[in-house]
């Protein structure tokens, strides 16, 4: 339809068949031809008025994507921006299906051509055609619509019913009905298959043959029991499985050893325990049964008397020999996430600092005297006390406390409470084992008093329960090993807080790096055959996480690396080689864990201590401590250096003091135990913090914060 106005402008319009709106509009005024499609201006080159009719008025319109109404309403995939800042697509109202203009929303790409080329319009076999830009964008919209549908289904499936709308409730009921129908059909099909299989494959057995089969099964049971030695773990497990197969689950009474094994697996991974239990290969206790055993008492900070009483009865402490009642008291902290939780069993908020009644009251009183703020502090660490038998396999947590910044006076009060509780259990604390934290060093100083010198502090205190018993102090040997390694690492490397020099020769971390590069180098006559195959990049280029690993420190401070340095034939490495050999032997002497360890490894230093005259005692006291003392005093005699520079020539004073305390305490403890009746050997590994680190690992494995 064309019309002329007074200004001489010719206007042509095309409306839809229903007369609902203008589809196309063309305005001709002189040489200017303006074209509009659905109210939008389009640029089309025209040579004559015939082109206007063929290229524009008779051309098909791109209707846009009108079958994505949910996406159009949410407007999530329509206002996206490109890297240049322009919109990728827009939402418009008015969908043209080729006949009429409908009041539906459409999503149109920003580069939509609006007018379809003649080739596209004739080649398409769809009910309506799209331009290239809208057609390519359609796949993106389809994926978005499918994702939104899945999210809606997931929401209706897992969100609690009380939070769902009526439409979502109806959808959820429909889904549950479909799932129920599917499960019933599957069960019916499986039942029919089993019945059919029994009909086709079953064999009828007469009474005589049944008796023979019963005898065969009975004999096989006896043969299996003969293969399994009585009292072994395999025999116990077989016996429990036979019993579980012949009883209902609620009537089964599990052996304590099986329960402990099941609890250990469940604590390591609850999902793995469920897989093993539900697979049907093993009959295991239900998780609710394990819960009753692990939650027989309400846990709380401090000393749990119910737990200690149960341990006392179960391990028959009262009838043990004297040397079996000696324990080492381990203490260490674990970092936790600060936060609060409500305990339904006690009605209390858990997460505040709790360091014992007396210490907490004293701290609150100190805060009221020094500050107006008396708000409770959230705990950031957990301090655990664990008792470990020195000549037995006993080990159990005694108490734990929620702490933030612990003072030596507070630690003193906790230690006193724990030692008192163990004494009431008829157990004697022979030594305290801890790392080299400042609060622990201060505790040893408060208990033992002032030592002879800074490098030879007190290594014991008298037991306050009398009996002329000493309580020795032990610095955890793996921590000492890492500290010795860190001193060498910081010698002109890493933090550069040390400049280690012994007998005029430097001890530097870069020497180890040079050795590794030389050991791995292709210029050697035997490339690929290494002198220190375990020495890798992660041993020497340490991160905070790698510094925590004892294995890496032990493999660096070893005889293997010392032998490799010797093969480099550099005279200036003599002191570094000596230092590595001394530290290696020191760690071996205090890391004896098994009776056959020395024999299997062909290392005399890893054999158990069986005599008071063991030469390793003298080596530790005279040779190793003498080496450290000589090193510490050597730097003091050098003139022209400041006090700080002299201190940097040797390993830190705290490390030497920790080694001194540990060596003297261990030698006295070992000789004391070897004099007791019934003690045939002593394992030095009993005096480290491995059990408490293992306990912390289990807590983290359970998802502890």
Do residues 219 and 169 both lie within one domain? no
Question: Taking Cα atoms as reference points, which of 89, 94, 96, 95 lies closest to residue 71?
Answer: 89
Question: Taking Cα atoms as reference points, which of 625, 689, 635 lies closest to residue 657?
Answer: 625
Per-residue pLDDT reduced to its tens digit, 482-536: 999 999 999 999 899 999 999 999 999 999 999 999 998 866 777 778 899 999 9
Do residues 166 and 148 both lie within one domain? no
How many domains in the chain? 5
Whether residue 704 lies inside any domain: the answer is: no
Range 237-246 average pLDDT: 87
Return all residues near 463 (Cβ < 8 A) that are at least 6 apart.
428, 429, 469, 470, 471
Range 100-122 average pLDDT: 73
Whether residue 42 lies inside any domain: the answer is: yes
- DSSP for 501-528, written as a single string: EETTEE--HHHHHHHHHHHH-TTSSSTT
What's the mean pLDDT when you consider all of the chain?
84
Separation of alpha carbons 239 and 225, rounded Å: 9
Do residues 592 and 492 both lie within one domain? yes
Range 595-601 average pLDDT: 91
Are residues 624 and 666 in contact, defined by beta-carbon separation less than 8 angstroms?
no
Per-residue pLDDT reduced to its tens digit, 300-317: 888 988 889 989 998 899
Q: Categorize the per-residue pLDDT at 548 as very low, low, confident or very high, splitting at 50, 70 and 90.
A: very high
Whether residue 305 lies inside any domain: the answer is: no
Boundary residue ending a domain (469, 488, 508)? 469
Q: Interior CA angle at 206 toward 201 and 210, to 5°?
A: 90
Are residues 108 and 64 in contact, defined by beta-carbon separation less than 8 angstroms?
yes
3-state secondary structure of 28: strand
Whether residue 24 lies inside any domain: the answer is: yes
Q: Cα-flanking dihedrals φ and ψ of residue 337, to 5°?
A: -80, 130
Record the pTM. Answer: 0.66
172: its two tokens: 């959820």
370 or 497, which is more confident? 497
Whether residue 87 lies inside any domain: the answer is: yes
Do residues 512 and 661 both lie within one domain? yes
Do residues 440 and 502 both lie within one domain? no
Do residues 546 and 674 both lie within one domain? yes
Are residues 302 and 356 in contact, defined by beta-carbon separation less than 8 angstroms?
yes
Do residues 121 and 223 both lie within one domain? no
Do residues 269 and 328 both lie within one domain? no
Whether residue 701 lies inside any domain: the answer is: no
Boundary residue ending a domain (469, 497, 529)? 469
378 or 206, which is more confident? 378
* Residue 232: count of CB within 10 angstroms of its CB: 10
3-state secondary structure of 615: helix
Range 434-453 average pLDDT: 88
Do residues 139 and 46 both lie within one domain? yes
Return all residues near 26 (Cβ < 8 A) that are at least 6 apart.
11, 12, 13, 33, 34, 35, 36, 52, 56, 57
3-state secondary structure of 460: strand
* Most confidently modeled range among 255-269, 341-355, 555-569: 555-569
Beta-strand ranges (E) seen in 204-324 are 302-303
Q: Cα-flanking dihedrals φ and ψ of residue 240, to 5°?
A: -70, -35
477-489 and 653-674 helices, crossing angle to 10°: 150
Separation of alpha carbons 507 and 509, rounded Å: 7
Whether residue 302 lies inside any domain: the answer is: no
Q: Categorize the per-residue pLDDT at 125 as very low, low, confident or very high, splitting at 50, 70 and 90.
A: very low
287-294 and 270-279 helices, crossing angle to 10°: 140
Question: Taking Cα atoms as reference points, which of 247, 462, 480, 431 lies closest to residue 326?
Answer: 431
Q: Residue 78: its pLDDT value, please?
A: 47
Do residues 233 and 363 both lie within one domain? no
DSSP state of 675: T
Domain range enclosing 540: 478-688
Are residues 682 and 391 in contact, defined by beta-carbon separation less than 8 angstroms?
yes
Q: Cα-flanking dihedrals φ and ψ of residue 74, to 5°?
A: -70, -25
Separation of alpha carbons 661 and 472, rounded Å: 9
Q: Cα-flanking dihedrals φ and ψ of residue 76, to 5°?
A: -80, -40
Do residues 138 and 273 both lie within one domain? no
Helix (H) or strand (E) holding 142: helix 132-158
Do residues 415 and 493 both lie within one domain? no
Are residues 18 and 91 in contact, defined by beta-carbon separation less than 8 angstroms?
no
Percent of the chain with pLDDT over 90: 41
């Amino acid at each position: 339809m064309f019309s002329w106005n007074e200004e001489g402008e010719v206007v042509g319009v095309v409306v839809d068949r229903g007369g609902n709106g203008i589809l196309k509009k063309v305005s001709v005024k002189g040489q200017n031809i303006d074209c509009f499609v659905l109210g939008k201006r389009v640029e089309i080159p025209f040579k004559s008025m015939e082109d206007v009719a063929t290229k524009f008025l008779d051309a098909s319109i791109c209707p846009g994507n009108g079958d994505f109404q949910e996406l159009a309403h949410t407007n999530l995939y329509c206002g996206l921006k490109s890297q240049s800042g322009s919109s990728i697509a827009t939402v418009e109202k008015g969908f043209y299906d080729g006949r009429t203009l409908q009041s539906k929303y459409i999503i149109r790409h920003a580069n939509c051509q609006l007018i379809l080329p003649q080739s596209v319009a004739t080649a398409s076999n769809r009910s309506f055609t799209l331009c290239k830009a809208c057609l390519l964008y359609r796949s993106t919209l389809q994926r978005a619509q499918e994702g939104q549908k899945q999210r809606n289904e997931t929401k209706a499936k897992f969100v609690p019913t009380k939070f769902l709308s009526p439409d979502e409730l109806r959808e959820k009921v429909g889904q549950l009905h479909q799932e129920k129908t599917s499960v019933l059909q599957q069960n019916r099909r499986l039942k029919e298959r089993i019945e059919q299989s029994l009909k086709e494959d079953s064999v009828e057995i007469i009474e005589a043959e049944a008796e023979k089969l019963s005898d065969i099964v009975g004999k096989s049971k006896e043969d299996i029991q003969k293969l399994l030695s009585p009292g072994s773990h395999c025999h116990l497990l077989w016996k429990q499985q036979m019993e579980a197969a012949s009883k209902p689950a609620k009537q089964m009474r599990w052996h304590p050893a099986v329960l402990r094994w099941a609890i250990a697996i469940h604590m390591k991974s609850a999902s793995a325990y469920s897989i093993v239990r539900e697979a049907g290969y093993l009959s295991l206790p239900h998780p609710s049964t394990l819960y009753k055993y692990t939650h027989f008492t309400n846990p709380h900070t401090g000393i749990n008397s119910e737990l200690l009483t149960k341990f006392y009865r179960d391990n028959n402490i009262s009838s043990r020999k004297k040397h079996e009642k000696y324990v080492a008291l381990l203490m260490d902290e674990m970092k936790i996430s600060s936060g609060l939780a409500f305990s339904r069993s006690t009605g209390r908020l858990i997460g505040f600092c709790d360091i014992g009644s007396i210490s907490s009251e004293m701290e609150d009183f100190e805060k009221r005297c020094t500050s107006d703020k008396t708000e409770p502090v959230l705990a950031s660490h957990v301090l655990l006390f664990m008792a470990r038998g020195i000549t037995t396999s006993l080990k159990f947590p005694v108490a734990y406390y929620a702490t933030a910044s612990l003072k030596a006076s507070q630690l003193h009060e906790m230690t006193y409470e724990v030692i008192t509780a163990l004494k009431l259990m008829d157990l004697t604390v022979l030594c305290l084992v801890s790392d080299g934290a400042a609060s622990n060093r201060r505790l040893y100083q408060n208990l033992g008093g002032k030592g002879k010198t800074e490098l030879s502090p007190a290594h014991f205190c008298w037991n306050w329960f009398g009996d002329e018993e000493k309580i020795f102090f032990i610095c955890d040997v793996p921590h000492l090993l890492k500290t010795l390694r860190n001193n060498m690492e910081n010698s002109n490397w890493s933090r550069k807080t040390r400049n280690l020099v012994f007998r005029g020769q430097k001890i530097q971390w870069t020497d180890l790096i040079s050795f590794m590069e030389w050991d791995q180098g292709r210029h050697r006559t035997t490339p690929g055959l290494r002198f220190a195959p375990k020495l890798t990049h992660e041993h020497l280029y340490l991160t905070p996480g790698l510094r925590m690993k004892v294995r890496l420190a032990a493999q660096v401070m070893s005889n293997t690396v010392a032998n490799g340095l010797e093969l480099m034939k550099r005279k200036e490495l003599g002191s570094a080689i000596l230092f590595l050999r001394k530290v290696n032997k020191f760690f071996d002497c205090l890391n004896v864990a098994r009776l056959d360890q020395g024999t299997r490894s062909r290392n005399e230093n890893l054999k158990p201590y069986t005599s008071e005259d063991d030469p390793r005692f003298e080596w530790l006291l005279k040779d190793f401590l003498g080496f450290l003392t000589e090193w510490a005093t050597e730097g003091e005699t050098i003139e022209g250096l400041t006090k700080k520079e002299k201190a940097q020539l040797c390993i830190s004073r705290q490390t030497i003091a920790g080694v001194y305390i540990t060596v003297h305490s261990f030698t006295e403890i070992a000789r004391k135990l070897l004099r007791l009746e019934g003690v045939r050997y002593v394992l030095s590994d009993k005096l480290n913090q491995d059990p408490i680190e293992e306990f912390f690992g289990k807590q983290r494995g359970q998802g502890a914060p």
